Amino acid sequence: MKQLIKIAILFASVNVLAQADFSISGKIVDALNQPIAYANVIVMTADSTLIAGVSSTDKGAFKLVKLKQDTYVLKVSFLGFKTYKQVVVVSQSQILDTVVLEVDSEALSEVVINNRKPTLKKEVDRLVFNIENTSLSEGTVLSALKSTPGVLILDNSISVKNGTPSVYINNKKVHLSSTEVVQLLESSTANTIQKIEVITNPPAKYDAESGAVINIIMTKNLVTGYRGKVFTNYTQGVYPRYNTGISQFYKKDNLGFNVNYSYTDSKKDRYNHETINYYDDGAIDQVWNTQLDRDEWSKTHNINFNIDYAIDDNNELNVSSIVLLNPVYDNRVFSNAVITDTNNDPLYNYNSGIISDGEKENISLDLDFLHKFDNTATLKFNAHYTDYDYNRSQNVRSNYFDTNNVFGPGLPYNFQTAFNTDNSQKTNIFISKLDFNLPVSETSTFSSGVKISSTKTESNVHQISLNPEDNTALPSSAYSDFYNYDESIGSGYINFETSWDNWSFSGGLRAEHTISEGHSITSNAMVTQEYFELFPTANLSVEASENLSLYSNFKRSLERPSYETLNPFNFFLNDNTIVTGNPTLQPAFTNHFVVGTTVSGIYTFEAYYKKTKDSFYELPIQNNTDNIIVYTPVNIENTTEYGFDFVTYFNATERWFLYFVASVYNIKNESAIQNNEVKLDHWSTYGALNNDITFLKDRSLNANLSFIFVGRNLQGFRISENILTSDLSIKKTILNKKGTVSLAVSDIFNLNDYDATFRFNNQNNRSIIEVDNRSIKLGFSYTFGNTTLNTNTRIREHKENERLEKQ
């Protein structure tokens, strides 16, 4: 009887076990370990009977539940990849090894891509703006960036949340100065862009200087064979501008090669009207009204290439380079100044002519080696080198006249001045990095890395005062200085990402040790800095319900001065206007807090608080004794900013997509200027509206209309007036969808000029800058060879190069 009972219990246990519910979970990635979202995952019995199915999440995770004990076939499929199958014996809940999908070249070659609307997605730490095959893709990269939510471009300066972002292309740091970044983006076509990520809270793997990151993800052909594209554009602003280029891609077996070249011939106009009130004993003594007209010529060659070689299934080698050549970078500046007393009665006037000829070379080279372990962990080594060379000569001549515009020796205010300046800068940057990434589970990832960088900059200036009549050097007129700057940075980081139930968390810590030394050889002045700092970052989010999510994040970051702003040389715009650097500038440290919520997936409300110590701005400082104004960067002791943002995006109709962004914020600056404590704060607004509409039955005509408004706001201690940016772009595919014609109109209402006032204590000046932004552009592009597109990303972050030069 006892034996029968035992047998009965055993059979009952087996039966219960057979009826138990189990689960299968895992993660799906591509060959580069990037998660694949919305892949189809199903389980079938041996006779192909469907049991259950799900789609992978944004992070590539999946989970199949309520499975009985049995042997199943797991099938994973996604467009453009080979179908994956695996036999799974289910006797308990289990986590599978990461599923890696392989590219299916034959399937990709049959994909037909049509024009479509841009899409916008708000994630916990970023906005993702997808513009592939929209009308925005037929303009320049810069024009596409102008239409991206949260990005503001004014006067050759890119900003996000009132700060300067780092710019990346395919997760690779662009190794150019801020001015050259704008040149690069303006001369590059956007028809190879897939999406633009505005990362407002970058993880710890990014350098501590990455307060915000703009990551431009380009499309890349994964299909074996050849693909090419040629394009040309004509732009009419005040003067005509031309841009043409070609991109080539070839892939076979384990080798992939991509090269892009573009040439831009540009002439731009810039008009300044400046008013300066100089003081004497607290009262206005003289008023200087200066009209300045500047024409800028540039001829730019942009070349970049990328070579990928898969050594075997676990090892990859990559070599890439970005080359920016400016054989012509010239300026012609003509100014006229009228000087009056406080009653507006004329005292004297003068005019100046400036001829400035320059050339630049910026060449960067990267070598990457990636090793993939069997458990899908990766180890990546990167070596980087940049060689930067910049030379500029300048000739300045000024004529002074009396109130009757009469010039003659011996008369009051009647004389001439002339001087020549030669300036050069050479910078070399060496960087090495090692990054390790380990998927701990299907929902958790650990990463860490180290980085060492070394920067050496040599600058010199040689200035000679001339006899205006015969251009001979005056006695003891030479002014020269040599400035060397060396900087070494060692850093390391750890980062962890995980999710459970409806929660997700990512956090990390970065440590950086900096040693810098600036040495003015002529004056024998030395400025040395050394500091060790920690930079934590964290993101936490929860799906409170199907239509409500909550999130918060924190980041500590810093901004180092550019190498140019540390250079103490004087550069004269005329006899009384000087631009100079400040070798005593300190780095700026920022703590940034954000809380927000997203409703129904399309309405986001966000509040933020940002505190910065020693932020730096270029300010116009008046010398009221010598009637000279000096533009120089200074540290502002405390900057406090807080505000509220609203973002929404949706399809108004089946063919009309729009997004809207609105911000209200306050900025307060406190610091000592010329030994006087100054406190200024100001409320401001920001708004953006973007409309994308598709026309015609075959959707071959697409238009985009965007507006960006920036209200009166505080920049340093300058008050800037309202600005409205308005752009229209139209794209039509032709020639069996291999050709594209485009039309773009920028600054439709001509309200994108810069008007700023600097007024407190004995400082009182105003500058109005009319930039050559209003233009109309016609473009044409043609694609040949295998025209199928897909995306690929590669990780690389460098910060040192963006500090090369600011002008």
Residue 113 lies in a domain: no
Residue 44: pLDDT band with limits 50, 70, 90: confident
Do 472 and 579 fall into the same domain?
A: yes
- Which of 71, 102, 133 is the last residue before a domain boundary? 102
More confident residue, 337 or 479: 337
Name the pairing type of β-strands 151-154 and 61-67. unpaired
Q: How far apart are CA 335 and CA 374, in angstroms?
A: 67
Contacts 24+ apart (CB under 8 A), 646-649: 646/603, 646/604, 646/605, 646/606, 647/122, 647/127, 647/149, 647/603, 647/604, 647/606, 648/602, 648/603, 648/604, 649/119, 649/120, 649/602
The model's pLDDT over 586-640, given as tens digits with 9 standing for 90+, comes to 999 999 999 999 998 788 999 999 999 999 888 999 999 888 999 999 999 999 9
Q: How far apart are CA 278 and CA 269, in angstroms?
A: 29
Structural domain total, the chain: 2
Average pLDDT estimate for 469-488: 81
Instruction: Give the max Cα distance, the chain.
Output: 134
Which SS3 state, helix, strand or coil, does residue 1 take? coil
Residue 405 lies in a domain: yes
Which SS3 state, helix, strand or coil, does residue 371 take? strand
CATH number, residue 31: 2.60.40.10
Look at residue 778 in the predicted model and tell me its pLDDT. 94
Look at residue 112 in the predicted model and tell me its pLDDT. 39
Q: How far apart are CA 243 and CA 234, in angstroms?
A: 7
Do 157 and 278 fall into the same domain?
A: yes
The model's pLDDT over 688-698, given as tens digits with 9 standing for 90+, comes to 898 888 898 88
Do 700 and 733 fall into the same domain?
A: yes
Q: How far apart are CA 216 and CA 232, in angstroms?
A: 21
Of 14-23, 602-611, 765-774, which range is least confident?
Answer: 14-23
Which SS3 state, helix, strand or coil, does residue 747 take? coil
- Which of 102, 136, 152 is the last residue before a domain boundary? 102
Tokens encoding 429: 């940057």
Residue 115: pLDDT band with limits 50, 70, 90: very low
Residue 290 lies in a domain: yes
Token pair 């609307």 in the structure block, residue: 117
Look at residue 411 in the predicted model and tell me its pLDDT. 47
Which SS3 state, helix, strand or coil, does residue 546 take? coil
Look at residue 278 in the predicted model and tell me its pLDDT. 94
| Backbone dihedral angles phi then psi of residue 43, each to the nearest 5 degrees | -120, 140
Average pLDDT estimate for 729-746: 89
What is residue 443's DSSP assignment? T
- Which of 75, 102, 129 is the last residue before a domain boundary? 102
Look at residue 110 in the predicted model and tell me its pLDDT. 39
Instruction: Look at residues 109, 200, 120, 110 and name the one whose alpha carbon lies nearest to residue 160.
Output: 200
Summary mean pLDDT of the chain: 83
The model's pLDDT over 147-172, given as tens digits with 9 standing for 90+, comes to 777 777 766 677 777 677 878 777 77
Instruction: Look at residues 702, 693, 706 and name the one whose alpha carbon lies nearest to residue 661.
Output: 706
Residue 111 lies in a domain: no
Residue 114 lies in a domain: no
Tokens encoding 522: 């002529």
**Contact in structure between 692 and 135 (CB atoms under 8 Å):** yes
Look at residue 401 in the predicted model and tell me its pLDDT. 84
Do 69 and 218 fall into the same domain?
A: no
Structural domain harbouring 125: 119-803
Which region, left, alpha or beta, applies to residue 455 given φ > 0 means left and ψ of -120 to 50 means alpha? beta
Residue 135: pLDDT band with limits 50, 70, 90: low
Cα 645 to Cα 119, 662, 665, distances in angstroms: 19, 6, 8
More confident residue, 148 or 709: 709
% of residues, the chain, pLDDT over 90: 34
Is pLDDT above 70 for 795?
no
Do 97 and 177 fall into the same domain?
A: no
More confident residue, 125 or 370: 370
* CA-angle at 767, arms to 762 and 770, nearest 5°: 180
Do 148 and 80 fall into the same domain?
A: no
CATH number, residue 240: 2.40.170.20
**Contact in structure between 405 and 464 (CB atoms under 8 Å):** no
Residue 110 lies in a domain: no
Look at residue 298 in the predicted model and tell me its pLDDT. 92
Q: Taking the CA atoms of the chain, what radius of gyration do you get in angstroms?
A: 30
Cβ neighbours around 788 below 10 Å, total:
20
**Contact in structure between 37 and 58 (CB atoms under 8 Å):** yes
pTM (predicted TM-score): 0.76
Kindly give, in sequence order, each residue whose CB lies less than 8 Å from that of residue 475, ignoring residues fewer than 6 positions away.
Answer: none
